[in-house]
Structure 1
Amino acid sequence: MGSLPESAPPASSPIPIVDFAEWNSSTSPSTRLAVAKELISACQSVGFVYIINHGLPQDLLDKAFATSKALFDLPHEDKMLAPHPDGPDVHRGYSHPGLEKVSQYMDGDESIGESLRAVTDMKESYEIGSEDNPLQPNVWLPEDVLPNFRSFTTEFYWACNRVAQEILRAIALGIGLEDPEYLIKFHSGHNNQLRLLHYPPVPAQDMEEGRVARISAHSDWGSITMLFQDDCGGLEVEDPSERGKFAPATPVPGACVMNVGDLLMRWSNDYLKSTLHRVTLPPLSDRYEGTRRLTRARHSIPYFVSADPSSLVECLPVCTDAERPVKYDPVTQDEYRKMRAKVQYRKTDKEQAPEVVAAA
């Protein structure tokens, strides 16, 4: 995942590539504005963009993936020493396969939530946040179970935040805000979330026939998401030219996949697009391992950038005029988060992990 020269996106993907090298190195206002405008164009048309030369060192990303793999290679009983708290209120610690159900549903009807859970999300994750967020306290493994896990992931969390804040500055400039620090004022970094994700091998037939899923189609809740993925593939983005049609977000070496979240779309009065996306079977050529038609394991590391909980998200003045009336009522970040989280984790102390199929 090293730096790439300026290039076109994969032919199979509608997602453009934006090179952040000049944003990070230039002091020329016109040069930085050109990069910002290119970023905004992608956020308007697709809502997703590959950012290359984003500023995270390659060795740090390599270590993050190695740390994630070491975590998920642990025995189940060791990972369960840092269990995700019961219910949807605190989103931290380890979630075993089947515990979380990601969807676009947000009305809170428990019966609908249970019907969605009939198709299990076969993934496991570990959520990490700021140590200074009392509303979302971290849940850590004992140090002797995975030495330096806490210290490294905390370092990586704040390294990602530094890149995220540059992206927010570029968005502010590109959208026409007079103050390039305007969005930063709502994003201290303490309400972000680092997620380590592992999709274990499962029988391809179970996914083909809809008995299990990886992640169903959904949009992200927050302001922006930064995603780092391995070479497995499987992430798909709704095609901007045809609703309900999904196109692959083919892994690009060295790139951060950045997408707009719901709250930034509300801030911008739909000027920027929060796009449905999902994780499903990888491309056919990379789909199976062994004679049992097991899917390849997939690792990814999303970093969710959220405004601080009390931040009021209301239409930016530059995003409304006589021809573009305000579409959304003001909402705080915490109000919107709770609305979206209602069915993600059921409230129970008795959830049991399903059997995870071992690799062939």
Structure 2
Amino acid sequence: MSSTSKTTQMAIPIVDFEAWSNTEDKAARRRVAQELVQACQRVGFVYIINHSLSENILDQAFDWVRRFFRLSEDTKMQAPHPDGWAVHRGYSWPGLEKVSQTISTGDNEDTRKRLREIPDAKEIYDIGSEENRAQPNQWIPGEALMGFRSFMNQFYWECNKVGVEILRALALGLNLDDEDHLAKKHSGHNNQLRLLHYLPVPADDLEKERVARCPAHTDWSSITMLFQDDCGGLEVEDVSRPSHFVPAAPVKNSIVMNVGDLLQRWSNDRLRSTNHRVGLPDLYDRFEGSNRLTRERFSIPYFMAPDPDSVIECIPSCMGDEEAAKYEPITQANYNQMRASIMY
């Protein structure tokens, strides 16, 4: 399933964010911002190191994720993902969600059925802001996992702080006059924290496409910040060789940040929303047993999304007299509805 090249393989850039926190050194901050934007233009994916999320809080987050998914099915099903696509919260059991790059199927039931013939072998728990009444959280009973809800609410807002800093760096790197041009459209209440557990499956089933982990897709949001364990399996499409994917190998305590479709639209295609997928791990020690059973994989993506009534229209510095806006303005709510109806 992995289609990597042995020769000229695309490299995912690394941006050291340490200097960004020094607000007195404007030259260093601009250098970080420019490196980030260049990475988002060339590849659309970047490793961010020396960010402000501590190793301790990330270790705690993964401990909670493992504890949650070890709960019984009956317990997890006390916080089920609501029917349909409108509310994106709660527990999604294996086979409920089907990731697809198809924008919309409308009422075509045959298309929906074909997409689901190869199930995604993963389970999910989605969390948002407790103040988002349109997307109410679905919590398991407190006594089932004491402290889980409290920690996840704290972690949600810690991730938002880092996401806001990344949006500010992108604005500076795009030469916007207002460093908060993007950030002020993101109150944080429309973001999504996702806990992911990829189930162990025979490698042969993945290679012969009897089952999938997460098929190739782009993300809908402004940016995604991903934290992954040491299992591997994330792959990014090589922008110079379509349909060829390269591993985004785990880097301890890094953020794998990628541009979402809304930011590509916002930036008039200057920033790249790149296809990515989760397939077979690229190292043999990621398999267990003679039937090459994949190790279970845990990851935590955090999606930064504008507020629903935010109008997504071309960033001023990304158009000019000889470069018109490529997309009509659209609200985040309308764009999200267009993309979400296929998922469930």
Band of TM-score, shorter chain: over 0.9
Aligned positions, number: 335
Q: In structure 1, what residue type is equivalent to 2:150?
A: S
Q: Which of 75, 79, 104 pairs up with 2:101?
A: 104
How large is the Cα RMSD of the aligned pairs? 1.2
In structure 2, list runs of 5 or more residues that go unmatched.
1-7
Q: Deviations over 1:61-98 (max 9, x none)?
A: 00000000000011111111111101111010111111
Alignment of structure 1 residues 339-354 onto 2, 5 Å: 339-345=338-344
SS where residue 246 of structure 2 aligns?
strand
Partner of 2:33: 36
Q: Which of 45, 50, 55 pairs up with 1:53?
A: 50
Structure 1 window deviating more from structure 2 (247-256 vs 24-33): it is 24-33
Aligned 8 A contact 2:9 2:238 in 1: no
Q: Deviations over 1:76-125 (max 9, x none)?
A: 11111111101111010111111100111112233212211000000001
Q: In structure 2, what residue type is equivalent to 1:281?
A: L
Change beyond 3 A, Cα 1:246–1:281 = same
Distance, in Å, in 1 between the alignment partners of 2:96 and 2:285 is 27
Distance, in Å, in 2 between the alignment partners of 1:328 and 1:175 is 18
Q: CA deviation at 1:26?
A: 4.3
Distance, in Å, in 2 between the alignment partners of 1:286 and 1:116 is 31
In structure 1, list runs of 5 or more residues that go unmatched.
1-10, 346-360
Q: CA deviation at 1:14?
A: 1.5
SS where residue 321 of structure 1 aligns?
coil
Q: Does 1:227 align with 2:226?
A: yes
Q: In structure 2, what residue type is equivalent to 1:312?
A: V
Q: In structure 2, what residue type is equivalent to 1:34?
A: R
Distance, in Å, in 1 between the alignment partners of 2:227 and 2:302 is 8
Q: Deviations over 1:1-51 (max 9, x none)?
A: xxxxxxxxxx96621000000101342111100000000000000000000
SS where residue 156 of structure 2 aligns?
helix
Q: Deviations over 1:317-352 (max 9, x none)?
A: 21012332211111110111111111100xxxxxxx
Q: With the length of structure 2 as denominator, give the TM-score of the two structures.
A: 0.95
Partner of 2:195: 196
Partner of 1:316: 315
Distance, in Å, in 1 between the alignment partners of 2:10 and 2:151 is 33
Aligned 8 A contact 1:203 1:295 in 2: yes
Structure 1 window deviating more from structure 2 (74-83 vs 156-165): it is 74-83
Alignment of structure 1 residues 116-131 onto 2, 5 Å: 116-131=115-130
SS where residue 144 of structure 1 aligns?
helix
Partner of 2:302: 303
Distance, in Å, in 2 between the alignment partners of 1:24 and 1:169 is 12
Aligned 8 A contact 1:13 1:250 in 2: no
Partner of 2:147: 148
Identity of paired residues, percent?
59
SS where residue 112 of structure 2 aligns?
helix
Distance, in Å, in 1 between the alignment partners of 2:304 and 2:89 is 15
Q: In structure 2, what residue type is equivalent to 1:67?
A: W
Structure 1 window deviating more from structure 2 (22-31 vs 270-279): it is 22-31
Partner of 1:160: 159
Q: With the length of structure 1 as denominator, give the TM-score of the two structures.
A: 0.91
Q: Does 1:258 align with 2:242?
A: no
Q: CA deviation at 1:291?
A: 2.6
